[in-house]
Structure 1
Amino acid sequence: MADAQPIQWRRDATTSRAVRALWAFGVGTFFAVISIVAVWRVFDLLGQAGTTILSTTVAGTGFDLTSAQAVLVAALLGLAASILALAASAHTQAHLERLSAGLPLPVSTSDERGLQRAMDAALGTLAMVGVVGALMFAGRLVSQGDLLAVGAGPFTFLAAFSLPLALIALVGSSFLRSVGTIDADEGVIYLHDPEERIALEHLEDASVRTVGDTAIVTLEYATPGGQYVPGPRRLVVPPVVARELEGLVGRSQ
C-alpha cells in the first residue's frame, strides 16, 4: 500500500483574504495615525512660511493655504498616486526594482511575499488616512462652525476608536493565520511559525466549525494518568484540511 502524502496548508496574508484585510487594516490604521500627526505638525509649521495663495471659507470655517503648504500637499498627493499606480500595476516588482536602482542603499525587492505585505500596508495606510482624516476634518468644521450641539465629540471618538479596532484586527489576523503539515504515516501534525509537533495519539476528539472558507478545529487531548498534555487547543485551517484531520483523529482512536 502506498504511503499517504502529507497534507500541507498555509493560511496567511498571501492565501486568505480575511487575514490580508485584517492585517492591512490594523497596520494601516497605526501608520495612518502616525502619518496624520506628523504631517499636520509640518503642515502647521509651513503655514508660517511663504505667501498665502488660497483663502476660502467652508461651513463658516476659514482656511488659508500658503505656497509652502501647497508644495507639501502636492508631494503627498503625488506619493499617494504613485502607491495606487504601483498597486494597480501587473508588474509592481519590476517597477520597484527600477525605482530602487537609483537609491544609495541596497534595497531588495526579490521577496514577493514581503513586497505584497508592504503594498497591503501602504494601501491600508492610504485608506485609513482618508477615513481618519475625514473624521478629523469634519470634527473641526463642526466645532468651529457650531454646526452641532455636541461639537466635535462624536467625530473625535470615532477617529480615536479606530486604534483599538486596529489592535483587534491585528489579533484577529494572528489568530486566523496558520501554517502546517499533517503526516498521516507518522501520525503527527507539524505546525510551523512557531514550530510545534502534535501527536495524533494524544488527541481524543476534533470538532470542526466552518465559517466561509475558514474552519476552526477544536482539539481535545487525552490525559493519561490525569497529566496535562501541552499543545494548541484550536487550529484555524482550510475546510478540506479540517475534514481530513477530523477523520484521522477518529481513526486513531
Structure 2
Amino acid sequence: MADDEVNITRDGTADETTIQWRWDASTSRTVRLLWAFGVGTFFAAIVTVICWRLYRMAGEVAGGFGRAVVIALIIALAATVLALAASSDTERHLKRITRQLPINVPSETSLDRAMDAAVGTVVMGVIIGMLMGIGRYVSQNELLAVGAGPFTGLAALLLPLALVALVLASFLQSVGALDYEEQMIYLYEPEQTIDLAVIEVVSTRQFGDVVVVKLSYAQPDNQYIQGPRRIVVPPEVAHKLQSPIEHRMA
C-alpha cells in the first residue's frame, strides 16, 4: 500500500495496517466553511448592530462627516482582516500590528480559527449589511408593497442557518483509526470501538470532503450488537472501509 494512499491528513499517521485521521476545521474544508459561516454570522449580527448605532450617533454629532468617518473605519477594519487572511505570514503581520497593544497573538491552529471567524464575520457582515441597506432603500422609496420585510427576513433567517451550520460542523468532525490487522475501527472524542467482523452492510453519503458512513450490524442468534450506526470519516477512509466488507459479503 503506497504511503500517499494512507496519509489521510497532515495531522494523521499511517502504516501498512493502520490509517489514522483527524477531520476537523483544520483539515476539512467542509467543516471549516460551516464553522466560519456559523461563527461569522453570529459575530456579524452583533457587529452590524454596533456599527449601525455608531453610524447614527456619528450622524447626530457630526452630520455627514461623522457618518463618512464611521464608514471609512469599517471599511479599513474589513480590509485589514481580509489582507491578514490572505497573507502567507499572518502571524508576523498580526504581531507587527498589535506590538503596541497588550495582546498575545495566538499561533498555529488558534490563529487559523481566529482568522476564519474574522473572515466569516466580514463576509457575513457585508451580506447582512447589504440586505438591511436594500431593505431600508426599498422601504424609504416605497418600491415594494411589503416594504423592507423580505430583506430583513432574509437577514434574520441567517441566524438559525448559522446555528444549523455550527451543529453540522460539530457532527462532521471525526478522529479515529482503522486497523486492518485487527479489523477494528477506533473512534475518539468520544471513544468507541467497532469490530468490522460484525458489519454486514456499509452505505455512504458524501458531503463535500466528508463522508457519513451508515453501518448495518449482523445479529447472530438475534442478539443486538451495540455500536454507532453512523460514523463520519474522510473519503479515503470510507473507501478503504467499504471495500473489504463488500468483498467479504460478495
TM-score range with shorter-chain normalisation? 0.7 to 0.9
- Is the aligned partner of 1:43 residue 2:55? yes
Cα pair 1:4 1:185 within 8 Å, conserved: no
Q: CA deviation at 1:159?
A: 1.0
Q: CA deviation at 1:213?
A: 4.1
TM-score by length of 1: 0.81
> How does 1:81-230 map onto structure 2 within 5 Å?
81-105=79-103, 107-110=104-107, 112-210=108-206, 213-224=209-220, 226-230=222-226
Q: How many residues align?
A: 235
Letter in 2 for 1:26: G
Q: What is the aligned-residue RMSD (CA, Å)?
A: 2.5
1:26-49 Cα offsets, whole Å, 9 max, x none, are: 111111111111222232233332
| Counterpart secondary structure, 1:150 | coil
Equivalent-residue separation in structure 1 for 2:246 and 2:135 (angstroms): 58
| Counterpart secondary structure, 2:117 | helix
Equivalent-residue separation in structure 1 for 2:230 and 2:131 (angstroms): 38
Cα pair 1:187 1:201 within 8 Å, conserved: yes
> How does 1:11-30 map onto structure 2 within 5 Å?
11-30=23-42
| Counterpart secondary structure, 1:48 | helix
Cα pair 1:11 1:178 within 8 Å, conserved: yes
Equivalent-residue separation in structure 2 for 1:31 and 1:83 (angstroms): 14
- Structure 1 residues 114 and 228 mapped into 2: Cα distance closer, same or farther (>3 Å)? farther
Gaps of 5+ in 1: 53-64
| Counterpart secondary structure, 2:60 | coil
Cα pair 2:29 2:209 within 8 Å, conserved: no
Q: CA deviation at 1:121?
A: 1.1
Instruction: Using the aligned pairs only, state the percent identity.
Output: 53
Higher radius of gyration, 1 or 2 = 1
Cα pair 2:174 2:233 within 8 Å, conserved: yes
TM-score by length of 2: 0.82
- Structure 1 residues 193 and 164 mapped into 2: Cα distance closer, same or farther (>3 Å)? same
- Structure 1 residues 101 and 190 mapped into 2: Cα distance closer, same or farther (>3 Å)? farther
Letter in 2 for 1:124: G
User: Which protein is richer in strand relative to its size?
Assistant: 1
Equivalent-residue separation in structure 2 for 1:157 and 1:227 (angstroms): 51
Cα pair 2:91 2:105 within 8 Å, conserved: no
| Counterpart secondary structure, 2:190 | coil
Cα pair 1:200 1:252 within 8 Å, conserved: no
Q: CA deviation at 1:158?
A: 1.0
Q: CA deviation at 1:135?
A: 0.7
Cα pair 1:184 1:248 within 8 Å, conserved: no
Gaps of 5+ in 2: 1-14
Cα pair 1:204 1:222 within 8 Å, conserved: yes
> How does 1:44-63 map onto structure 2 within 5 Å?
44-50=56-62, 52=63
Q: CA deviation at 1:218?
A: 0.9
